[in-house]
């Protein structure tokens, strides 16, 4: 019995050490600016081909807590929810309506989403006809809270699709346009919570710096890909801003539309297979928000590789590496450049 107890003690002591070592590791990790940079922004990996971009992110200032509790903000999309968290920090409590990997083009709000809007002190939507379902949601909730549209003032790429008369809605694929969204968020939060002006201003400014670093890192990675290989075929037409900013050509899309709900004809598929062959496109990209079935079939017909997890209109699950906006852009850049290389 005595020996057994001693043995038991020794085990406890060992696990005590293990806990201490883990705690020290955690403290060191928290002290590392690359880890604490953006509350969950993936750490830059030094591995050039398989990891993230080489991205040094300056940490955001913590700012002051709100004396009467965090500002309750309801947001329609995960990408915008992340931007609001970056700007608001501990001053805001963000409720996001659209789940990870869900398609904003084809979303049916549930009764709990009406409750989320009702409970919010501010509502932030995306706009550009992408989250039109939010209009009914806000109306049905009867909320008096101010509603801000994050894309206000963002210069869009023109679209001949009459569904999107304000232009292509996928503007987050250009970090410079996202800087306009961040400025809108800081202004909106300050309007509702003037006491947080300094916090929102300082965090927004620091995050703008992270976006500029992201932009530079994407350019540095894309430049390693020969110009003639910068050809994109994606599931739906979501990457025009990325193509425009970083010098890619969108050769075609499996669903020939800015909207994932558009019909695809056999003739469209045959035409795209021919185009992929003629242009020498080495890979096509399915996306996290739609089933890869059709893109898979097309890749098989065209005899090219398929990348089935490009993050397009929605963030990924926590831990996916694409659970923040900057993480999404890093993940996609690496997927694209490595698949086309
Ligand atoms: Zn889309």
Average pLDDT, the chain: 88
Structure letter (DSSP) for residue 152: T
Confidence (pLDDT) at 51: 57
* pLDDT score recorded for residue 311: 98
- Distance, CA 4 to ligand 1 centroid (Å)? 63
Q: What is the mean pLDDT of residues 82-97?
A: 98
Task: Give residue 7's pLDDT.
Answer: 43
Task: Please check the confidence at residue 28 and state whether its pLDDT lies above 80.
Answer: no
pLDDT tops 50 at residue 38: no
Same CATH topology for 71-221 and 225-340: the answer is yes
Would you kindly state where each structural domain of the chain is located, as residue ranges?
2-31, 71-221, 225-340
Instruction: Quick: pLDDT tens for 265-286.
Output: 999 999 999 999 999 999 999 9
Q: Supply the pLDDT for residue 56.
A: 86
The percentage of the chain sitting over the pLDDT mark of 70, rounded to a whole number, equals 85
Place of tokens 């929605």: 314
Cα-to-centroid distance, 285 and ligand 1 (Å):
14
> What was the pLDDT predicted at 16?
47
Distance CA 269, CA 321 (A): 32
**Model confidence, pTM:** 0.85
Q: 130 CA distance to ligand 1 centroid (A)?
A: 8
Compute, in angstroms, the gap from residue 227 CA to the centroid of ligand 1: 25
Q: Is 153 left (phi over 0), alpha (psi -120 to 50) or beta?
A: left
Residue 257 is predicted with a pLDDT of: 96
Q: Tokens for 149?
A: 């549209």
Predicted local distance difference test score (pLDDT) of residue 223: 97
3-class secondary-structure state, position 125: strand
**Which of the four pLDDT bands, split at 50, 70 and 90, describes residue 321?**
very high
Q: How far away, in angstroms, is 261 Cα from ligand 1 center?
A: 9
**Distance between Cα 236 and ligand 1 center (Å):** 7
Q: What is the pLDDT of residues 103-130, one digit of tens each?
A: 999 999 999 999 999 999 999 999 999 9
- 25 alpha carbon to ligand 1 midpoint, in Å? 41
CA 255, chain centre distance (Å)? 21
Strands, E assignment, the chain? 71-75, 92-96, 122-125, 147-149, 231-234, 249-253, 283-287, 305-310
Kindly report, residue by residue over 202-259, the tens digit of the pLDDT.
999 999 999 999 999 999 999 999 999 999 999 999 999 999 999 999 999 999 999 9
The superfamily (CATH) of domain 225-340 is: Nitrogenase molybdenum iron protein domain (3.40.50.1980)
The Cα–Cα gap between 239 and 232 comes to: 8
Distance 12 CA to ligand 1 centre (A): 54
Cα(96) to centroid(ligand 1), Å: 18
**The pLDDT value given to residue 164:** 97
Read off the pLDDT of each residue in 311-326 and give the average, rounded to a whole number: 97
Answer for the pair 207, 88: CB distance below 8 angstroms, yes or no: no
Q: How far is the CA of 3 from the centre of ligand 1 (A)?
A: 66
Residue 203 Cα to ligand 1 middle (Å)? 29
For residue 14, pLDDT over 70 is answered with no
**14 CA distance to ligand 1 middle (Å):** 53
Cα 251 to ligand 1 centroid, rounded to whole Å: 17
- Model confidence over 47-88: pLDDT tens digits? 334 457 888 899 999 999 999 999 999 999 999 999 999 999
**Distance of CA 313 from the midpoint of ligand 1 (Å):** 5
Centre of ligand 1 to C-alpha 47, Å, is 31
Residue 11 banded pLDDT, cuts 50, 70, 90: very low
Kindly report, residue by residue over 144-185, the tens digit of the pLDDT.
Answer: 999 999 999 999 999 989 999 999 999 999 999 999 999 999
**In the CATH hierarchy, which top-level class contains the domain 71-221?**
alpha beta
Q: Is pLDDT above 50 for 42?
A: no
C-alpha dist (Å) from residue 144 to 114, 119, 147, 195:
13, 10, 9, 21
| 200: confidence class by pLDDT, cuts 50, 70, 90 | very high
Tell me, in angstroms, the distance from the centre of ligand 1 to residue 10's CA.
58
Note the pLDDT of residue 213. Answer: 97
Cα 23 to averaged position of ligand 1 atoms, centre (Å) = 43
């Amino acid at each position: 019995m005595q020996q057994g107890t001693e043995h038991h003690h020794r085990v406890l002591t060992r696990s005590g050490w293990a806990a201490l070592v883990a705690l020290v590791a955690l403290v060191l990790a928290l002290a590392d600016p690359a880890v604490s940079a953006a509350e969950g922004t993936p750490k830059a990996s030094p591995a050039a081909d398989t990891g993230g971009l080489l991205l040094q992110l300056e940490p955001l200032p913590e700012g002051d807590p709100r004396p009467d509790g965090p500002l309750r903000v309801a947001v329609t999309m995960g990408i915008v929810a992340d931007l609001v968290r970056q700007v608001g920090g501990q001053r805001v409590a963000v409720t996001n309506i659209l789940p990870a990997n869900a398609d904003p083009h084809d979303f049916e709000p549930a009764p709990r989403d009406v409750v989320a809007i009702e409970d919010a002190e501010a509502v932030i939507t995306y706009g550009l006809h992408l989250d039109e379902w939010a209009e009914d949601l806000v109306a049905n909730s009867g909320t008096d809270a101010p509603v801000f549209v994050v894309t206000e003032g963002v210069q869009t790429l023109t679209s001949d699709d009459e569904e999107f008369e304000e232009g292509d809605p996928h503007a987050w694929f250009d970090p410079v346009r996202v800087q306009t969204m961040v400025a809108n968020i800081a202004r909106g939060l300050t309007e509702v919570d003037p006491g947080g002006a300094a916090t929102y201003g300082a965090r927004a400014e620091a995050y703008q710096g992270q976006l500029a670093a992201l932009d530079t890192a994407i350019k540095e990675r894309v430049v390693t890909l020969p110009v003639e290989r910068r050809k994109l075929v994606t599931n739906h037409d979501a990457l025009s801003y990325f193509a425009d900013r970083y010098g890619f050509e969108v050769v075609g899309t499996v669903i020939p539309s800015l909207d994932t709900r558009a019909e695809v004809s056999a003739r469209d598929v045959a035409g795209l297979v021919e185009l992929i062959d003629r242009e020498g496109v080495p890979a096509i990209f399915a996306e996290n928000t739609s089933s890869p079935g059709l893109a898979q079939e097309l890749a098989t017909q065209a005899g090219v590789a398929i990348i089935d997890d490009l993050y397009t209109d929605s963030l990924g699950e926590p831990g996916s590496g694409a659970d923040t906006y900057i993480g999404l852009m890093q993940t996609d850049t690496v997927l694209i450049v490595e698949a086309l290389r």
